[in-house]
Structure 1
Amino acid sequence: MQATRAARRQSRYEFAAVGRSARLALRYSGPERATAVQALKAAGAAMLAWALAAFWIESPMALMAPWTALVLVDSTVYRSLRAGVRQLGVISVGAIWASLAMYVTNGSTLPAMAISLPWLMLIAGYRRLGAHGIYGATTALFVIAYGAYQPWQVGHRLLETLIGAVIGLSVNAFVLPPVRIDGVRANLHALAVECGNLLQAMGDGLEHSWGAARAEVWEDQARRLHRGVQAVARARNRAAESSRLNPGRRMRRGDRTARIPPQTDRKWEAVVHHITALSHTLADVAARSHALSSPTDTFRCDYAALTRAVARLCAEQAEMLAQHHTDGAARQEQVGAVWRRYEQVLGEVPNQKEVSATAVSGGLLIQIRQLLRTLTPGPEAA
């Protein structure tokens, strides 16, 4: 019964996720719509390739053309071209090898498979061929299973493959060519939101006596922020790849939006680094590492308010990323207020009674100062 209920919950969740994706694809330009467009392009390319192969060259099966066109409508034009070259080579090898195997075995299916498939599967494991390596073996299976190993029949298969490759590449390059520049913005926005949420959680927790368990949670969440940094780097690489050999990079509407410079990636990577260092310091204080003493209650509450103010800066910059604004549109009044609050908390450091507490307070302020310097220039950035 429990397994059945769990399966029902999972099914409801999956159907709800599909519904959300469909609504987003219909209403907004984003990853969901891009996925839908690529799926429709692939289907259209396959049908067009089949029609050309079936009616133009009058192929008896016309299987290779739509199959090749289908898999070559990739996420970027550059990937389609690279995949097309690989696939043409692998399919040619598979077709010729299988034809020779059938010729040597006088058309005997099982011996021909024994001669061709083991070696073609070894070739499929070659790392540089990626997912396309398996197409050599599958092409050999088609040739052997249908007994189509005469030279003119092999020529048909290769011609079908060429037609499918040309159709797939052409459709991907000239029909709404994919330009993946919004992924950088989306991942940076998500990273900025996560940074702001974690700083807000730290500020809320610091208003009260935080324990080692809560500090460990903050430290773990800070480590997870590095996944967001890696996601931004992958999106940046994908954006650069999508512009290579792409004839539509100057025509697409998304390409006319303000691009985010690579310096923004480095900025948020530095923010994550400083938040991680801050979480380490708080975890050490909570664990009383090296006999560290907690700061006074007054300093702790003021520092909590300062941390929440920095969290609001992160949230503001995340909102600017979502609305395609630049960092130059930052509200200078709020920035100045945060720096003044920092100066106020800095003035409380000499009031610590213990040397250890003074050292801890200074270390915490160093991390928050580095965060402020990274997020936006201020009086202390000069």
Structure 2
Amino acid sequence: MVREQWRAAVRWLGWEGAAVARTAGSAVRYSGPERDAMVQSLKAAGAAIAAWALTGWWLDAPLALMAPWTAILLVMGTVYRSVYSGAQQFVVIVVGTLWASAAMAVTDDSTLGAMVLTLPFMVLLGNYRRLGSQGIYGATTALFVITYGASTLADVGHRLLETLIGAVVGVAVNAFILPPVHLRSVRDNLHALARESGDLLTTVAQGLREEGGLAGAGGWHDRACRLGQTVQALADARQWRAESYRFNPGWRMRRRGLPPPPVRIDALWERVGAHLVALTRTLRNAAGEDAPLTAPSQAYLARWADVAESAGTVCGAEAELIEGAGTAQTLRDQRGAALETAWVAYEDLTRDLPQEEAAAIAVAGELIVETQQLLRELAAGIDSPPAA
């Protein structure tokens, strides 16, 4: 039992490491959301360092931690969010600082007494919906103030100044150093969704053709579930695009590029991802000696792999069309031919179903149902091509 747990932990670490490697590789090779995340992360780190240099080194502030802490939180996905959240955060931090300082003065610098007077109110205030995600920083600021243990007017003034400096540095770095303009984020996330779907289908097809191919089913299911993260990133990108031009001094310097595909395409690829999750879950539940379901024959899985491979080709061609790479007509022809091949292989698969053992019919039938729905979604994508 313990050995199985260790093996499961090792497999999970392997899948997680592979996912990290794919993300890092995408950040290096592609100009997309992974690279944007890397740039924003480096900007946040730089803003924190600059804020510390101003307050801790130049001003020799007594609680210089407040400045880099504030700065790093305000390097957000859009300049508008930085400004809006910065205003919210500054108000919350001012309230937390003043309340905690007053509590320290009333309790004669008693840490426990000040916490009793401060934290219940500040945590409740942090849940006020109009403060959004910034509300909790009032309580954490109060903890910093109480732990530091000084409540004079000079100390309070220093903390507010440090917070203001951090907010200004964070917003300034985000606005004037590679300001985020999400002109391509929608298209990039759609491209990633189609590309990752195609890669997953191709990987599954290759694995099923090998002896004991279901051994990798757990990893396939993990990859399919991760598509949900890209779907959420796509939804965020739609919102970020609408915010990108607000308060952003760099938007005029950015090329507009192609308009994003329509919103209905997002829902189509979200449904494709859901079918991939269902398919890989079925394969995972039929893998291994102690599997709860009985796997179809190796020959049947190999024939299903033909369908999956053709569907993966459709997704790959669609990804290139979304990206605008290659000759559009050539890609459309490739996509249509692959889908036709997938339907032919699917029809052959349905005719082979009665030949499977009774115990394996449940898995084989579920594969057929989900595959049919997957192919219909891909066909709908061809009827309404997303490439603008």
TM-score (ref. length: structure 2): 0.62
What does residue 232 of structure 1 align with?
Answer: 231
Deviation of 1:228 after TM superposition, in Å, equals 1.2
C-alpha offsets along residues 308-338 of structure 1, whole Å, 9 cap, x if unaligned?
A: 33332222223444x4449954534435545
C-alpha offsets along residues 22-48 of structure 1, whole Å, 9 cap, x if unaligned?
A: x97677645565445434433554455
CA contact (8 A) 1:98 1:144 kept: no
What does residue 331 of structure 2 align with?
Answer: 331
What does residue 73 of structure 1 align with?
Answer: 75
Same amino acid, percent of matched pairs: 34
What does residue 176 of structure 2 align with?
Answer: 174
What residue identity is the alignment partner of 2:231?
A: V
C-alpha offsets along residues 131-158 of structure 1, whole Å, 9 cap, x if unaligned?
A: 65244443454367352423x5434432
What does residue 191 of structure 1 align with?
Answer: 193
What does residue 142 of structure 1 align with?
Answer: 145
Q: Given the alignment of the two structures, is residue 256 of structure 1 paired with residue 262 of structure 2, yes or no?
A: no
5 Å-filtered alignment, 1:201-220, equals: 217=217
What does residue 310 of structure 1 align with?
Answer: 311
Give me the whole-angstrom Cα distance separating, in 1, the residues matched to 2:162 and 2:120: 24
Among candidates 85, 94, 97, match of residue 95 of structure 1 = 97
What residue identity is the alignment partner of 2:150?
A: G
Deviation of 1:307 after TM superposition, in Å, equals 5.0
5 Å-filtered alignment, 1:272-283, equals: 272=273
Distance 1:371-1:281 versus aligned 2 partners, 3 A rule:
farther
What does residue 361 of structure 2 align with?
Answer: none
Give me the whole-angstrom Cα distance separating, in 1, the residues matched to 2:353 and 2:38: 63
What residue identity is the alignment partner of 1:256?
A: G
Distance 1:303-1:375 versus aligned 2 partners, 3 A rule:
farther
CA RMSD of aligned residues (A): 5.5
Distance 1:146-1:374 versus aligned 2 partners, 3 A rule:
same
C-alpha offsets along residues 46-81 of structure 1, whole Å, 9 cap, x if unaligned?
A: 45556666899x675362444423332233324323
Deviation of 1:251 after TM superposition, in Å, equals 3.8
Tell me the number of residue pairs that the alignment of Structure 1 and Structure 2 aligns. Answer: 347
Distance 1:261-1:142 versus aligned 2 partners, 3 A rule:
same
What residue identity is the alignment partner of 1:331?
A: L
Structure 1, 164-173 or 114-123: larger mean CA deviation: 114-123
What residue identity is the alignment partner of 1:145?
A: Y
Give me the whole-angstrom Cα distance separating, in 2, the residues matched to 1:336 and 1:153: 70
Distance 1:276-1:110 versus aligned 2 partners, 3 A rule:
closer
What residue identity is the alignment partner of 2:310?
A: A
CA contact (8 A) 1:42 1:168 kept: yes
Among candidates 342, 367, 374, match of residue 380 of structure 2 = 374
Give me the whole-angstrom Cα distance separating, in 1, the residues matched to 2:373 and 2:155: 71
Deviation of 1:364 after TM superposition, in Å, equals 8.8
Deviation of 1:355 after TM superposition, in Å, equals 12
CA contact (8 A) 1:199 1:310 kept: yes
Distance 1:163-1:353 versus aligned 2 partners, 3 A rule:
closer
Give me the whole-angstrom Cα distance separating, in 2, the residues matched to 1:308 and 1:190: 18
C-alpha offsets along residues 80-127 of structure 1, whole Å, 9 cap, x if unaligned?
A: 23432332222212222233223324x434465345444356347637
Give me the whole-angstrom Cα distance separating, in 1, the residues matched to 2:43 and 2:127: 29
Deviation of 1:373 after TM superposition, in Å, equals 1.9
Distance 1:73-1:203 versus aligned 2 partners, 3 A rule:
closer
Give me the whole-angstrom Cα distance separating, in 2, the residues matched to 1:147 and 1:134: 19
Give me the whole-angstrom Cα distance separating, in 2, the residues matched to 1:51 and 1:216: 50
Distance 1:327-1:101 versus aligned 2 partners, 3 A rule:
farther
Contiguous gaps of at least 5 residues in structure 2: 1-5, 285-295, 357-364
What does residue 268 of structure 1 align with?
Answer: 269
Deviation of 1:165 after TM superposition, in Å, equals 1.9
Distance 1:127-1:189 versus aligned 2 partners, 3 A rule:
farther
What residue identity is the alignment partner of 2:270?
A: E
Distance 1:200-1:98 versus aligned 2 partners, 3 A rule:
closer
What residue identity is the alignment partner of 2:264?
A: Q
Among candidates 154, 161, 164, match of residue 162 of structure 1 = 164
Distance 1:200-1:148 versus aligned 2 partners, 3 A rule:
closer
Distance 1:146-1:320 versus aligned 2 partners, 3 A rule:
same
CA contact (8 A) 1:77 1:246 kept: yes
What residue identity is the alignment partner of 1:108?
A: D
C-alpha offsets along residues 237-264 of structure 1, whole Å, 9 cap, x if unaligned?
A: 1452365135156346475365343233
TM-score (ref. length: structure 1): 0.63
Give me the whole-angstrom Cα distance separating, in 1, the residues matched to 2:353 and 2:30: 57
Give me the whole-angstrom Cα distance separating, in 2, the residues matched to 1:362 and 1:251: 51
